[in-house]
């Protein structure tokens, strides 16, 4: 008798290390705490910048980042991923604040969160499996370019002292990991550059120059908008766009972190968590957001964080820094944060994908998809649009490639009575792209009176193919000849039997 034993093999969704493991290990806990601090410092100028893009007070962006980071730490499906106010969401909802005011913007954020809950519940996360690798590579490369270009305003038209500070910060982050990884290199760079700037009293742009920091905690806020159908029609289009953009960016970022950490995440839980986080953000007067790829890369790649502790503490530290230590944070030079983001962009870019040897081996269609994704993202500054275009280009390329897989072979036999029969053997997958040319592969005028079309080597996938087969048999009838279709597999025969003669395309 075989006795089944329960193994201790962890689920593929079990994070390694877990939160409990991190809490029991001083080394891991230190790494997570310091990673959260680095991310919080990097979040401040970005949240302020995104608030300006959305046309609202910087407090909305900062409060949104705090609420979303803390809530997603508990509700999200991807440990160590950072969620906060983002540029993509700011661009989508900016017209609402401009045309209708802040209350309507907050109502839009809350409704967007509701839409995300609905989309998560119906399983929209499962659509991630249809995003090809070439689109993912394009997404990553475009992201690296956007992170880098976002730093250019802080490098153009600034005092010349900014440049040596940025170079010094980059050198610290290159050398530091070779000496020790106990303390995240970005944190060391920020602290040393800040100390040097203050000690020598250098006049360079600082975090405080980006906008005023809040002095109080966020409070529960119900938007002052009429609960009418008119209000819904105003905010619903923006809320739906926000929900789709936010989910797409968050799920793509989660997949990227999965690849970096060799772990799996719960995409449906992440979708639901994003919705709940946006609702909470709106209720506390925030501008909403989604997963932040740049800060996530700082957390996961640059700082080595792996648990929800770093995400939670990023939000907590953010609030402490801007409310309690606002005066200290305000003196951090922007050059230090720019250096961090430049290093993140270099680490994020998939350099292997643009090597000449890789480009030579890779099919041209794959390279085209990657380039199209990068180009659209860089032009529109919208990752969601770039991914959608990339997927469409990949679908077209796939359809064109598969369309050539269908072949038709012809032979003519003569029986004992001298009667001839034309035998056609159709091979390959038949769908709208490959079946369009099917009708041109037959010799209607030259074939004998009897024609047999063998479908054993093919599969009928759609109504377009059934219509093409109807057209073929109809053309033979017009020439006074009989065409018989045989050899279909069960699924193809079922579809053909249901639709043949009922599509109106046989004439």
Residue 466 CA to residue 485 CA, distance in Å, equals: 11
260, containing H or E segment? helix 229-261
Predicted pLDDT at 3: 45
Listing DSSP states for 96-134 in one string gives HHHHH-HHHHHHHHHHHHHHHHHHHHTTGGGGGGGS-HH
Q: Read off the pLDDT of residues 279-305 as tens digits, 9 standing for 90 and up.
A: 999 999 899 999 988 889 889 988 888
Average pLDDT over residues 326-335: 86
Predicted pLDDT at 13: 64
pLDDT band at 506 (very low <50, low <70, confident <90, very high): very low
Closest by CA to 272, choosing from 384, 118, 86, 68, is 118
Mean of per-residue pLDDT scores for the chain: 87
Residue 462 CA to residue 443 CA, distance in Å, equals: 24
139, containing H or E segment? helix 133-149
Assess whether pLDDT exceeds 90 at residue 68. yes
Assess whether pLDDT exceeds 50 at residue 8. no
Q: Read off the pLDDT of residues 349-390 as tens digits, 9 standing for 90 and up.
A: 888 889 898 888 888 888 999 999 999 988 887 777 888 899
Strand order in the sheet with 407-414: 407-414, 420-430, 450-460, 482-486
More confident residue, 7 or 226: 226
Average pLDDT over residues 70-83: 94
Q: Read off the pLDDT of residues 232-270 as tens digits, 9 standing for 90 and up.
A: 999 999 999 899 889 988 998 998 899 888 888 999 999
Assess whether pLDDT exceeds 60 at residue 505. no
Assess whether pLDDT exceeds 50 at residue 4. no
What does the CA dihedral 372, 374, 376, 381 come to, rounded to 10 degrees?
170
Predicted pLDDT at 144: 83
| Of the listed ranges 77-91, 177-191, 196-210, the one predicted with least confidence | 177-191
Listing DSSP states for 477-488 in one string gives HHTT-EEEEE--
Assess whether pLDDT exceeds 60 at residue 225. yes
How far, in whole angstroms, is CA 89 from its chain's centroid? Answer: 13
- Cross-strand bridge partners of residue 425: 409, 454
pLDDT band at 72 (very low <50, low <70, confident <90, very high): very high
The SS3 of residue 27 is helix
DSSP-derived letter for residue 493 is H
More confident residue, 114 or 332: 114
DSSP-derived letter for residue 79 is T
Contact 161, 155 (CB under 8 A): no
Angle at 23 between CA 321 and CA 64, to 5 degrees: 35
Token output for 342: 């430049």
Assess whether pLDDT exceeds 90 at residue 226. yes
Residue 91 CA to residue 75 CA, distance in Å, equals: 25
Sequence-separated (6 or more) residues with CB below 8 Å from residue 274: 72, 76, 83, 113, 116, 120, 246, 247, 250, 290, 291
Strands, DSSP E only, in 357-449?
A: 407-414, 420-430
Predicted pLDDT at 12: 61
- Cross-strand bridge partners of residue 420: 414
Q: Read off the pLDDT of residues 99-154 as tens digits, 9 standing for 90 and up.
A: 999 999 999 999 999 999 999 999 888 877 778 889 888 988 887 888 788 888 88
Q: String of b and e for 465-504 (b: at least 16 CB within 10 Å)?
A: bbbbbbbbbebbeeeebebebeebeeebbebbeebbeeee
pLDDT band at 54 (very low <50, low <70, confident <90, very high): confident
Residue 87 burial (C-beta neighbours within 10 Å; 0-12, 13-18, 19+): buried
459, containing H or E segment? strand 450-460
pTM over 0.85: no
The SS3 of residue 198 is helix
Average pLDDT over residues 490-497: 91
Q: Which residue in the block uniquely carries the two structure tokens 């081996």?
A: 361
Q: Read off the pLDDT of residues 410-461 as tens digits, 9 standing for 90 and up.
A: 999 988 888 899 999 998 888 887 777 788 889 988 899 999 999 998 999 8
Token output for 33: 């705490």
Give φ, ψ of 499 to 5 degrees.
-105, -25
Contact 311, 82 (CB under 8 A): yes
More confident residue, 55 or 174: 174
Residue 69 CA to residue 289 CA, distance in Å, equals: 10
Neighbours of 311 (CB within 10 A): 32
Assess whether pLDDT exceeds 70 at residue 5. no
Give φ, ψ of 422 to 5 degrees.
-90, 125
Contact 22, 293 (CB under 8 A): no
């Amino acid at each position: 008798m075989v006795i089944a034993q329960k193994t201790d093999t962890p689920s593929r969704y079990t994070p390694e290390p877990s939160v409990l493991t991190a809490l029991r290990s001083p080394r891991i806990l230190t790494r997570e705490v310091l990673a959260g601090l680095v991310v919080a410092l990097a979040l401040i100028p970005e949240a302020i910048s995104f608030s300006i893009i959305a046309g609202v007070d910087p407090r909305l962006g900062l409060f949104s980042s705090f609420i979303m980071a803390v809530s997603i730490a508990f509700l999200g499906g991807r440990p160590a991923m950072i969620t906060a106010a983002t540029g993509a969401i700011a661009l989508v909802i900016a017209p609402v604040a401009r045309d209708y005011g802040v209350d309507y913007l907050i109502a839009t954020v809350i409704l967007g969160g509701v839409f995300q809950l609905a989309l998560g519940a119906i399983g929209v996360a499962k659509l991630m499996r249809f995003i090809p690798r070439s689109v993912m590579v394009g997404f990553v490369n475009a992201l690296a370019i956007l992170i880098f270009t976002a730093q250019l305003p802080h490098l153009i038209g600034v005092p010349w002292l900014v440049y040596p500070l940025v170079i010094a910060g980059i050198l610290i982050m290159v050398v530091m990991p070779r000496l020790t990884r106990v303390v995240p290199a970005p944190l060391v760079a920020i602290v040393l550059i800040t100390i040097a700037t203050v000690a020598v009293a250098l006049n360079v742009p600082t975090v405080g120059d980006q906008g005023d920091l809040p002095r109080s905690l966020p409070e529960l806020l119900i938007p002052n908008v009429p609960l009418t159908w008119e209000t819904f029609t105003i905010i619903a289009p923006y809320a739906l766009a926000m929900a789709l953009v936010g989910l797409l960016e968050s799920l793509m970022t989660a997949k990227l972190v999965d690849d970096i950490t060799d772990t799996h995440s719960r995409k449906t839980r992440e979708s639901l968590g994003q919705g709940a986080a946006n609702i909470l953000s709106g209720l506390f007067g925030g501008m909403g957001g989604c997963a932040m790829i740049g800060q996530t890369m700082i957390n996961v790649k640059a700082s080595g964080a792996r648990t929800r502790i770093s995400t939670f503490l990023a939000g907590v530290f953010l609030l402490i820094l801007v409310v309690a230590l606002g005066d200290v944070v305000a003196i951090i030079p922007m050059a230090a944060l720019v250096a961090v983001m430049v290093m993140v962009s270099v680490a994020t870019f998939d350099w292997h994908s643009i090597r000449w040897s890789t480009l030579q081996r890779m099919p041209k269609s794959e390279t085209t998809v990657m380039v199209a994704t990068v180009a659209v993202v860089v032009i529109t500054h919208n990752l969601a649009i770039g991914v959608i275009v990339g997927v469409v280009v990949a679908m077209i390329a796939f359809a064109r490639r598969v369309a050539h897989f269908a072949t038709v072979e012809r032979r003519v036999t003569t029986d004992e009575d001298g009667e001839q029969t034309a035998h056609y053997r159709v091979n390959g997958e038949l769908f709208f792209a490959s079946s369009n040319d099917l009708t041109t592969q037959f010799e209607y005028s030259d074939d004998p009176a009897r024609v047999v079309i063998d479908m054993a080597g093919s599969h009928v996938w759609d109504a377009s193919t059934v219509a093409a087969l109807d057209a073929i048999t109809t053309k033979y009838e017009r020439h006074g000849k009989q065409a018989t279709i045989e050899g279909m597999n069960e699924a193809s025969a079922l579809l053909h039997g249901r639709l043949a003669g009922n599509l109106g395309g046989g004439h």
